[in-house]
Structure 1
Amino acid sequence: MQYKDYYKTLGVARTATQDEIKRAYRRLARKYHPDVSKEADAETRFKEINEANEVLRDPEKRTAYDALGSNWRAGQDFRPPPGSSYQDFKFNPDDTADFSDFFASIFGRAFHGEARDRVLQRGEDKTIKLFIDLEAAYGGTTRQLQVEAQNGAGRGRTTTRTLNVRIPPGVTQGQQIRLAGQGSAGPNGGPAGDLYLEIEIEPHRHFTVDGRNIQLRLPIAPWEAALGGSVPVPTLGGTVSLKIPPGSQSGQKLRLKGRGLPGSPSGDEMVLLEIVTPAATTDDAKALYRDMAKRLQFNPRAELGV
């Protein structure tokens, strides 16, 4: 087995004080905690740091470790001298699964369960709903939030923080935006949890939303439906011209590609045609409808056999 230089692991001198060891451990534990670290070897380093701290923070264990001598170098082949195993530390075997054979060769296979309780714990994650309108979801926006949090995993005093949050263009209903380290504080100086903003898009007066797609009910006149032509259509990015095919019917869907919420790919705008019949409120309008009935000989219920 290889010798482990616990002082080198924590980056402190062999003459380091207990306060220096404590500060070094907390700094490294925050850096390599697997829940927050982006380092490729974070989990392995975190275990090594905890093991080194467990020995050096305890004066008895540190004395036992130092008794091995200062001439060893990390990585050297190591065999414990006779009588060097300190079995009187009262170990629980289940609590040392993450510790090395080197540790076990000196202190026995396990140590008292209080050690794990001292590992820096990460604070709780929090999720809050963020209500935005459809235009903000389309173009992006910024929001200022007042967030309440309790220090010490819910056991400390409540504090209020002001966060300026950027909402990127193209967010969708139910999407979560992660704000790292803005959740509840960890106990005993541990890293804070994360805050998740869950997007809630408010109802729109014209559009309905389906993922990145949006839908619009577009009223058209009977002659526009029968003869076809181009009509103006509102979109989230402004008004565009839509070509209505001749002979269009109510309920027919037309697609405006890429006119939904932006993304990769962007959503579409689905236009649902709705033929609106002008009211016959004047003598001329009534005469026109009577003339159409005579000339067109149209039975909209022909498919029903009536």
Structure 2
Amino acid sequence: MAPQREWLERDFYADLGVSSDATADQIKKAYRKLARELHPDANPGDKAAEERFKKVSEAHSVLSDDTKRKEYDEARTLMSSGRFRGGNGGGFSGGGAGGFDIGDLFGGGGSGGGGGFGDIFGDLLGNRGGRAGGSTGGARQRRGNDLETETTLAFRDAVQGTTVTLRVTSPSPCTKCHGSGAKPGTSPRTCPTCNGSAFVTRNQGHFGFSEPCPDCQGTGTKIDDPCPDCQGSGITVRPRTINVRVPQGVEDGQRIRLAGQGEAGMRGAPSGDLYVTVHVSADKVFTRNGNDLKVQLPVSISELVLGATVSVPTLDGSVGVKIPSGTSDGRTLRLKGRGVPKRSGGSGDLLVTVKVSVPTKLDDAAVEAMKQYAEAEKASGFDPRAGWGR
């Protein structure tokens, strides 16, 4: 069956278990749930789960891309409207009073023109289908699907940057044939039927249209002696280890794109990309607001009243911070350049909020001193509730 027909007859929404009007977030959640359940690591040796995993990944690669999803929906709508129908020969037939050249639908036909659904199908799934480019043009390669994974970082590693090791099980280039699909020592040859264009032109009545070459299944090449490990696909599902450099300042929920680290393409075609979603654990001391770090500093009443220099933690160790006498509880002091490093250079600030800590137990001498202080405070005319509640 030609790739175009497969894409038209595949219901990507059903593959993910969502409705055709599902939001991007609903599609993403459905994919993540199914990917976890069907992942080869969770189903070792289960070929059915592996095939289902591939279908789910393929559906997500289309529906998660706004442009591809729009093109897919338009193609499905046109097919369901009856404006064209499948023929007995595997092609498409049409007609009617309005009349149109079916070759235009697939961007080929007898005239060799471009555009139409040939471009739509060729662009879906990362140029998987391809279109006729004439006897001198080569087949458009079947790019691999994009993949997604997740990692969790400690707060300070995310702020300062780090390198993490990810283990990913996915379709990867066959190590025996290096992705060519041909048995080592041999090479794929140009398909003699389509001369490597991946498409052939057929005439049916008054109509001419292009369709994927039946001899090479739209790849443009033929393999006489397939690789025994990958059966000619150039791809095997295997675990691999990837070292990922996480830049400094990465935030919770941010995605990192690793070009070419996704699913391998068919027979040496380019690989898709790998997207890593970063989750950041909470820290016991710091919180974050953009490029600024925030910390609460416990202080005593006497330190606020009399002033003091206290030690405050930063990302690079502790520094002394001067608290002016008469500082009120809850005041925030700003330490310039002690926050999150910026990609453009420099760093944010460290915001230190003083929070008075009240003792729960005092010895007799301390109690007596507090009483004397309270009397002196009253005598000075200080009223903490002056103007309050009026």
TM-score, normalised to structure 1, is 0.60
SS of 1:248's partner is coil
SS of 2:106's partner is helix
Distance 1:93 1:116 in 2: 12
Aligned partner of 1:87 in structure 2 is none
SS of 1:92's partner is helix
SS of 1:303's partner is coil
1:304 aligns with 2:388: yes
CA deviation after TM superposition for structure 1 residue 149, in Å:
1.2
Question: What are the superposed Cα offsets for residues 96-131 of structure 1, whole Å, 9 maximum, x if unpaired?
Answer: 38xxxxxx9xx5144895753952132222232221
Aligned partner of 2:310 in structure 1 is 231
Aligned partner of 2:152 in structure 1 is 131
Alignment check: 8 A CA contact 2:130 2:141 kept:
no
CA deviation after TM superposition for structure 1 residue 270, in Å:
0.9
1:174 aligns with 2:189: no
Match of 1:108 among 104, 108, 111: 111
| Identity among equivalent pairs (%) | 38
Alignment check: 8 A CA contact 1:251 1:274 kept:
yes
Amino acid across the alignment from 1:288: A
Distance 2:304 2:147 in 1: 52
Distance 2:350 2:371 in 1: 38
SS of 1:147's partner is strand
- Long gaps (5+) in structure 2: 1-100, 119-128, 133-138, 174-232
Considering only CA atoms, is the larger Rg found in Structure 1 or Structure 2? 1
Question: What are the superposed Cα offsets for residues 170-201 of structure 1, whole Å, 9 maximum, x if unpaired?
Answer: 32333332211111122454311111222222
Amino acid across the alignment from 1:213: D
**Paired residues for 1:43-62 under 5 Å:** none
SS of 2:358's partner is coil
- Long gaps (5+) in structure 1: 1-89, 98-103
Aligned partner of 1:28 in structure 2 is none
1:204 aligns with 2:280: no
How many pairs are equivalent? 207
1:281 aligns with 2:302: no
SS of 1:277's partner is coil
Question: What are the superposed Cα offsets for residues 256-296 of structure 1, whole Å, 9 maximum, x if unpaired?
Answer: 11111111341211111101123343111211121111110
Alignment check: 8 A CA contact 1:95 1:110 kept:
no
Distance 2:248 2:303 in 1: 35
Aligned partner of 2:264 in structure 1 is 185
**Structure 1 range deviating more: 139-148 or 233-242:** 139-148
**Paired residues for 1:253-264 under 5 Å:** 253-263=332-342, 264=344
Alignment check: 8 A CA contact 2:333 2:352 kept:
yes
Distance 1:303 1:108 in 2: 89
CA deviation after TM superposition for structure 1 residue 215, in Å:
0.6
Question: What are the superposed Cα offsets for residues 228-251 of structure 1, whole Å, 9 maximum, x if unpaired?
Answer: 232111001111111212211121
